[in-house]
Amino acid sequence: MKLKDQFRFIQQNMKKNKMRVSMTILASAMSVAFLIVLASVAFGLHDTVIKDTIESPEVTQIEVAGKDIGNGNAESLSNEDIEQIEALEGVNAVTRSKQVRQETRYITEGYEINTQTIQSHFPSMKNAGMDLGEGAFPEEKDEVAVGYHFALNLLKDDVDPEEAEYGEDGHLIPEQRFSGEIIGQTFDLEFKRMQDGEEITETVPVTVTGVIEKPGREWAWDQNVYITDEKLAELEAITGTSKAMLTDPADAAEDTGYDSATVYADDLETVKSVMTSLEEEGYFVYSMVSEMSQINTLFNIAKAGLIFIGTIAILIASIGIFNTMTMAVTERAPDIGIMKAIGASPKVIKRIFLLESTYIGLIGAVIGIAVSYVISIGVNLALPLILESAFDEELPQGLQFSSIPFSLVLIAVAICLIVTMLSGMRPAKRATEIDVLKAMRREV
Amino acid sequence: MIEINQLSHHFTLGKKGQQTRLDVLKNISLHVNEGEIVSIVGRSGSGKSTLLNLISGFIHPSEGEILILDQKVSEFTEEEFADFRLKNMGFIFQSFQLIPSMTAYENVELPLILKGVSEQARKQMTLDMLKTVGLDTFKDHYPSELSGGQQQRVSIARALILEPPLILADEPTGSLDSETEADLLNFIKKLNRERGITFVIITHDDEVARIGHRTIEIADGELVKSGVLV
């Protein structure tokens, strides 16, 4: 018997009990829609988090905190370490910095600010593709770049720091802060050195050539001043200590290691392999990718859990299919008997009933998928509006509550088909066991 | 065509633990030649219908063997017998056994569908067959819209559609009036004569039995006589 004819048979049979079959299809559709919509929430939120992470420039960065030297001890990175890391496959650049070990003050005509001074390796920052928010990277010894918030907190020198006023944005109010062009501005970098137990103030000139981009995260604050290697060397020469430490040169310990280093991988795909190589070499590393892997695990567990709950709904719907098919077999027993008598093989009979239950499941699944998409679109449109009006808070841009990827559709269809086929197995087997003579005598 | 050797069959009746054995057929041996019409007669409960059901493969014999077209069908599995029936046997039942939800056309077409004949070929064959039995104008009628004689003709058309060499008929005129019965018997003789189809007819009606070339009588599950009815 050809498949086409089997389908025609099934359609004829289904027409005989339109109401019962429709209700069974409706139950299947509802269960499939329930599974998809439920799981789509996990898929939607996961997509939002992943998208947010992937779009972040930090995604290809690997922070290297130090190197394991055994017995649980770590040491900061040396120039040799940097060279070793730069030689690794997939590494685009390694930016590194040393922090000046004392608070520094920057003074220009009528303004001043106390802030941290950090030596940065600007060529590697250029290699990493980093752009300054404004201006150019320092190239000469006296050139510096400043953090995005530097100028916003550059206080007028006639205002007592204790009386400084800050606006809602956390910066100095415009009347008390620097309002000119920061690029090209020359400052005196004021720092101290120890001599015979006494602090002696020293100044060296610096000129701002660039402003670092605003930090990616809203809460991050950057009012540091970034100096060149040569400038740090100058400060070290004046103080006579490593990283311009405020200690007597005779007592100062040598500390030439980098305080932080960031490895820039070529792309997202190579981050993992670079991290593995770094870990194998004994470096302590951290990247957003490791965070992403944990996020993925969490969301995958959530997805599996929600799909499992949805499957229970399909299992409940399958009881309806089982009942429908059992009744269909009972009602059609005389017809089955006649068909068997004239030569229908048990295999064909079984296949017809299995196909019928699968067909019911499939129609239910198709309707369920369509309904799910409608619900998903509706949820994504309506929920932000509801939440915003209810809590009076703007939701993050690009937040997606529900997402139905094709894989979820496939999973739902597969589960639905498997469950409906299984629920049709017993009735189908019963159909093959129908006794021809009893059926023809209408005794079944 | 059919060779039956020492065939016995019994049914087990009653509840478990209180079962009784009912021997329906005892040591039957007979043969049916190709192109023959054989009538099997006997009183009600003699075992003639059981014999036909065993030949049809609807039940399995307790003992003995049945060969049809040189194949030991008594050893066939259900699957094998279904295929064998489809290809080699046609059935005419007393109560016609038409599927009520199918039209005359669809009932006749059913064996062709089961055999996997293409839709186009099916259409031509079914219409031809309905014409042969004189029901082409009733093709879209459901069994409930046809008379007993017409239903039996649909049933015959369904039995003949795959041109089987053997047709088994169980009380084929049992539900028909005398005029329709005569028509049907003439039609069976014509089919036998013109197409060489072998008929095994179960009946308790002497009129029907007379169309057979040979009559086999069964009484109490045993073969009483086999020969030409006078």
Query: Each residue of A233-282: pLDDT tens digit?
Result: 999 999 999 999 998 888 888 888 898 899 998 887 888 889 889 988 88
Q: How far apart are CA A435 and CA A426, in angstroms?
A: 16
| Spatial separation of the C-alpha atoms in residues A209 and A190, rounded to whole Å | 19
Residue A226 falls inside a structural domain: yes
Residue A442's pLDDT band (boundaries 50, 70, 90)?
A: low
Which of these ranges, A124-128, A173-177, A180-184, B150-154, has the smallest mean pLDDT?
A: A124-128
B122 contact A CB<8A: no
Tell if the CB–CB gap between B110 and A339 is shorter than 8 Å.
yes
CB contact at 8 A, A265 and A92: yes
Provide the shortest C-alpha distance from residue B100 to chain A (in Å): 8
Are residues B113 and A1, on separate chains, in Cβ contact within 8 Å? yes
Residue A365 has pLDDT above 90, yes or no: yes
Are residues A342 and B116, on separate chains, in Cβ contact within 8 Å? no
Amino acid A437: pLDDT: 86
Q: Does B2-227 carry CATH code 3.40.50.300?
A: yes
A104/A234 same-domain check:
yes
Residues A160 and A225 in one domain: yes
Give CA–CA dist A407/A399, Å, rounded. 21
Domain boundary among A237, A258, A279: A258
Q: Which domain covers residue A20, as residue numbers? A: 3-55+294-440
B119 token code pair: 């839709």
Q: Can you tell me the distance from the alpha carbon of A439 to that of A307, in angstroms, rounded to the nearest whole number?
A: 43
- Asked if A242 and A256 count as a contact pair (C-beta separation under 8 A), the reply is yes
Q: Which two tokens stand for residue A115?
A: 């802030």
Select the residue of B95, B99, B115 nearest A335 (Cβ to Cβ).
Answer: B99
pLDDT class for B226, splitting at 50, 70, 90? low
Q: Could you give the C-alpha distances from A364 to A370, A379, A412, A416, B61, in angstroms and in order? A: 10, 22, 11, 9, 46
Contact A338 B101 (CB under 8 A): no
Q: What are the start-end ranges of the H helices in A211-287?
A: 229-239, 268-280
Contacts 24+ apart (CB under 8 A), A267-275: A267/A60, A268/A54, A268/A59, A268/A60, A270/A89, A270/A90, A271/A59, A271/A60, A271/A62, A271/A90, A273/A89, A273/A90, A274/A62, A274/A88, A274/A89, A274/A90, A274/A91, A275/A62
Distance from CA of residue A59 to its chain's centroid?
9
Average confidence (pLDDT) over A286-301? 85
Q: How confident is the model at residue B227 (pLDDT cuts 50, 70, 90)?
A: low
According to the model, what pLDDT value does residue A443 have? Answer: 54
Greater confidence (A144 vs A196) lies with: A144
**Token pair listed for A16:** 């005989």
> What's the gap in Å between the CA of B38 and the closest CA on chain A?
21
Q: Which of A337, A342, A437 sits opposite B85 (nearest CB)?
A: A342
Pull the structure tokens for residue A186: 């020359």
Q: A251 with A124, same domain? A: yes
Gap between the Cα atoms of B1 and B198, Å rounded: 8
Task: Tell me if residue B98 falls in helix, strand or coil.
Answer: coil
Q: Looking at the structure, do residues A435 and A320 belong to the same domain, yes or no? A: yes
- Cα A165 to Cα A104, A155, B134: the distances in Å are 22, 10, 109
Q: What share of chain B is helix, strand, coil (3-state, %, to 5)?
A: 40, 30, 30
Does the residue A65 lie in any domain? no
Mutate to test the interface with A, among B81, B103, B110, B166 (most CBs of A within 10 A): B110
Which ipTM was obtained for this model? 0.89
The DSSP call for residue A227 is E
Q: Touching check for B60 and chain A: CB below 8 Å?
A: no
CA distance A349 to chain B (A): 10
Rounded to the nearest 5 percent, the helix, strand and coil shares of chain A are 55, 20, 25
- The tally of domains found in chain A comes to 2
Contacts for A200 with CB less than 8 Å, ≥ 6 apart: A192, A193, A194
Considering only CB atoms, which chain B residues are within 8 Å of A2?
A: 113, 116
pLDDT above 80: residue A160: yes
Same domain flag for A353 and A247: no
Residues of A in contact with B111 (CB under 8 A): 342-343
Of B86, B91, B101, the CB nearest to A16: B101
Q: Nearest-CA residue of chain B relative to A346?
A: B79
Residue B221 has a pLDDT of 85
Whether A436 maps to a domain, the answer reads yes
Q: Is A157 exposed, middle or buried (0-12, 13-18, 19+ CB in 10 A)?
A: middle
Q: Are B154 and B98 in contact (CB under 8 A)?
A: yes
- Among residues A258, A286, A302, the one where a domain terminates is A258
Q: Judge whether A202 and A238 are in contact, CB under 8 Å.
A: yes
Within-domain flag for A43: yes
A336, A345, A364: which is closest to A421 by C-alpha? A364
Chain B contacts of A434, Cβ < 8 Å? Answer: none
Residue A224 reports pLDDT greater than 90: yes
- CA distance linking residue A14 with residue A4, whole number of Å: 15
